[in-house]
């Protein structure tokens, strides 16, 4: 009795044959699976991937499409400057300018004429002030002997001017034809290659200011007056001068440069334009300017094809692209300024979801087609197997490319792309499972238990799906598990080629696809290596699990 009791209390080893005999088939499979260390490692990796993708995506405070910004000192365009090549017209108050006045005046300058005829509005007279400045008048020929012989006319001729005033009436003398002709004139406009910049943005200039300022510049005078107000002219060069008001403050700046701001809402003061003009004339590549708030900035000057570009460094809020891993972003950011860790987590959801959905649909279709073909045989088997052959012959990659082009044309949403990708991959992938199920059922349907099932009157549906298919499940589990890795690789490949998931949605394949530049690939390894490693580990883990299940279901395994 004591010996029997000791025998009953004796602990049996896990692989002891006596213990295995009392285990159920399911427990035998689990025992064999657990004994496979690689299969356990694969299971741990898959569990980690699911926790990383679904739980991690719920915990992380960032979304997959959230863009992050940073502040940087960036050289930005501030203003541009070009020499004025075309004449600018400043019209007199209340003057009626003929429609062809500008073109007639430019033609007269070219031919060095004084008086020209407008097509509709009579005569026009041109008074040269200097090489690039002219006063335009409406003219009417007159004969006034006193004016022709006046001292004012003689003084004007001595000064080389065709314009004079006699008894309060303005005249112009034209001797280009060899005979002096006298014309009464009325001011119309000023034509010059100069720009006028007011110190105050709200200040506007009168025609008298334009005219008198240009006359003073041409005569190299240091002052002029307009409507009883005196102004001081500070000559900086032949083409530039600063105008000061009576109290000595800057009032306007005259220059042969056209200087305009690039950034809207910025007013370029005469002081700024003066510094630009001096820097260009002196051939400098930079200058400093202190604004009204006392802030001093350095401005960079560069020339390209006759145009000058004025730039400065300023703090700018920019997208934080390719930021290195940090406390805020553990895996850094991508080229769109999105957090890489968040995109890896959300991308894992897509990759894993597509893998399981596609394999599930493949198994359903494959089991139905393969089960029916294997059970009925004959012409049913022939027809279904020819369907399998046809599906095998469909070229998958061209089909994916056509589908991708169609979805691009219709701008399909990311959800639609995922749905269509699952459908197409399932339709093309079920044929392998169908052949496996058909082959297994062809051998099983002739065995004794199926003969007994048929003898008891069980329906065909129950015989197929209650007796035959369950015996094929071990092979299906192995095939499906190993096929999961293939589906994930296929999805990653399609996304890498731009045929799968599109921005801003993320999958592991589309994350790698974003790195399509050799410089980015070699200098920002943190952008694509983590996604590649996740794909590698996931596919490897599914293969480990598949190998473990295959060995566990194999009845020839050593017990």
Instruction: Check residue 13 and give its pLDDT.
Output: 54
Position 6 pLDDT exceeds 60: no
Residue 558 has pLDDT above 50, yes or no: no
| Mean pLDDT over each residue of the chain, to the nearest integer | 83
Span 400-439, pLDDT tens digits: 888 878 887 877 777 788 888 888 888 888 888 888 888 8
State both tokens at 497. 């080629």
At 73, is the secondary structure helix, strand, or coil?
Answer: strand
- In this structure, how many other beta carbons lie within 10 angstroms of the beta carbon of residue 113? 17
Q: What is the DSSP string of 512-537?
A: HHT--SHHHHHH-HHHHHHHHHHHHH
Q: Is the per-residue pLDDT at 77 higher than 90?
A: no
Which of the listed ranges 188-202, 415-429, 492-506 does the model predict with the highest average pLDDT?
Answer: 188-202
Could you report the per-residue pLDDT of 111-154, keeping only the tens digit for each?
Answer: 888 999 888 778 999 999 888 899 999 999 998 888 888 888 88
pLDDT digits (tens, 9 = 90+) for 204-237: 899 999 999 999 998 888 999 998 899 999 888 8
Count other Cβ atoms within 10 Å, centred on residue 473: 15
What percent of the chain has pLDDT above 90? 16
CA 319 to chain centre: 11
Span 384-409, average pLDDT: 83
Dist. CA 56–CA 247, nearest whole Å: 71
pLDDT at 548: 83
- 240-290 pLDDT, tens digit each: 888 998 888 888 889 888 888 887 778 888 888 888 888 888 888 898 988
Residue pointed to by tokens 């700018």: 316
CA dihedral (497, 501, 502, 504) positive or negative: negative
* Mean pLDDT, rounded, for 438-463: 73
Could you tell me which residues are beta bridge partners of residue 428? Answer: none
Q: What is the mean pLDDT of residues 451-479?
A: 73
Rounded mean pLDDT, 321-325: 89
CA distances from 323 to 248, 339, 341, 344 (A): 53, 9, 12, 16
pLDDT at 470 exceeding the cut of 80 = no
Q: Are strands 115-117 and 123-130 parallel, antiparallel or unpaired?
A: antiparallel
Helix (H) / strand (E) element for 134: namely strand 133-142
pLDDT at 1 over 50: no
Residue pair 51/234 in contact (Cβ under 8 Å)? The answer is no
pLDDT in tens, 158-176: 888 889 999 889 999 998 8
Say how far apart CA 198 and CA 272 lie, in whole Å: 11
Provide the 8-state DSSP code for 505: S
Q: C-alpha distances in angstroms, 85 versus 216, 458, 520?
A: 22, 100, 45
Q: Which domains does the chain have, with CATH numbers?
A: 32-66+336-553 (1.10.3720.10), 88-313 (no CATH)
Nearest residue to 272 via CA among 485, 255, 283 = 255
Torsion over CA: 97, 99, 105, 108 (sign): negative
pLDDT class for 515, splitting at 50, 70, 90? confident
Asked if pLDDT for residue 89 goes beyond 80, the answer is yes
Taking a C-beta distance cutoff of 8 angstroms, is the pair 312, 75 a contact? yes
Whether the CB-CB separation of 348 and 52 falls below 8 Å is answered with yes
Confidence at residue 555, expressed as pLDDT on a 0 to 100 scale: 55
């Amino acid at each position: 009795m004591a010996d029997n009791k000791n025998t009953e209390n004796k602990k049996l080893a896990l692989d002891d044959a006596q213990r295995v005999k009392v285990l159920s088939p399911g427990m035998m499979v689990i025992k064999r699976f657990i004994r496979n260390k690689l299969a356990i490692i694969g299971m741990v990796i898959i569990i980690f991937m699911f926790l990383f993708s679904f739980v991690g995506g719920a915990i992380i405070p960032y979304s997959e499409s959230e863009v992050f910004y940073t502040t940087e000192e960036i050289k930005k365009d501030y203003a541009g400057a070009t020499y004025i090549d075309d004449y600018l017209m400043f019209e007199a108050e209340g003057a009626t300018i003929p429609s062809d006045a500008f073109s007639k005046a430019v033609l007269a300058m070219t031919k060095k004429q004084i008086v020209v005829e407008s097509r509709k509005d009579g005569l026009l007279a041109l008074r040269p002030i200097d090489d690039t400045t002219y006063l335009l008048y409406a003219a009417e020929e007159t004969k006034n002997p006193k004016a022709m012989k006046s001292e004012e006319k003689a003084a004007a001729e001595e000064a080389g001017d065709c314009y004079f005033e006699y008894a309060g009436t303005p005249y112009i003398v034209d001797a280009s034809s060899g005979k002096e002709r006298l014309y009464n004139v009325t001011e119309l406009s000023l034509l010059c290659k100069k720009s006028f910049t007011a110190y105050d943005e709200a200040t506007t200039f009168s025609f008298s200011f334009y005219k008198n300022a240009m006359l003073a510049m041409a005569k190299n005078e240091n002052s002029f007056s307009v409507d009883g107000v005196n102004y001081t002219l500070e000559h900086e060069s032949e083409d530039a001068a600063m105008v000061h008001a009576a109290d000595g403050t800057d009032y306007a700046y005259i220059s042969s440069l056209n200087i305009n701001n690039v950034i809207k809402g910025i007013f370029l003061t005469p002081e700024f334009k003066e510094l630009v003009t001096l820097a260009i004339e002196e051939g400098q590549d930079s200058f400093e300017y202190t604004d009204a708030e006392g802030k001093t900035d350095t401005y960079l000057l560069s020339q390209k094809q006759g145009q000058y570009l004025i730039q400065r460094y300023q703090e700018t809020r920019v997208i934080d692209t390719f930021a290195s891993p940090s406390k805020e972003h553990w895996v850094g950011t991508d080229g769109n300024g999105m957090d890489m860790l968040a995109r890896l987590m959300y991308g894992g959801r897509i990759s894993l979801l597509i893998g399981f959905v596609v394999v599930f649909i493949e198994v359903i279709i494959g089991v139905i087609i393969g089960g029916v073909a294997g059970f009925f045989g004959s012409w049913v088997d022939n027809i279904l197997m020819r369907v399998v052959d046809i599906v095998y012959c469909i070229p998958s990659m061209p089909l994916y490319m056509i589908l991708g082009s169609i979805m691009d044309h219709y701008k399909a949403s990311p959800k639609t792309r995922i749905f269509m990708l699952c459908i197409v991959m399932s339709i093309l992938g079920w044929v392998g499972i169908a052949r496996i199920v058909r082959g297994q059922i062809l051998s099983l349907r002739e065995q004794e238990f199926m003969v007994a099932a048929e003898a008891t009157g069980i329906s065909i549906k129950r015989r197929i799906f209650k007796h035959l298919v369950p015996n094929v499940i071990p092979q299906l589990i192995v095939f499906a598990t190993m096929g999961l890795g293939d589906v994930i690789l296929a999805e990653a490949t399609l996304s890498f080629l731009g045929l799968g998931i599109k921005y801003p949605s993320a999958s592991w394949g589309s994350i790698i696809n974003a790195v399509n530049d050799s410089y980015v690939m070699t200098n920002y390894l943190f952008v694509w290596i983590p996604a590649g490693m996740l794909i590698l580990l996931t596919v490897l883990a599914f293969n480990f699990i598949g190998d473990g299940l295959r060995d566990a279901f194999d009845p020839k395994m050593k017990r």
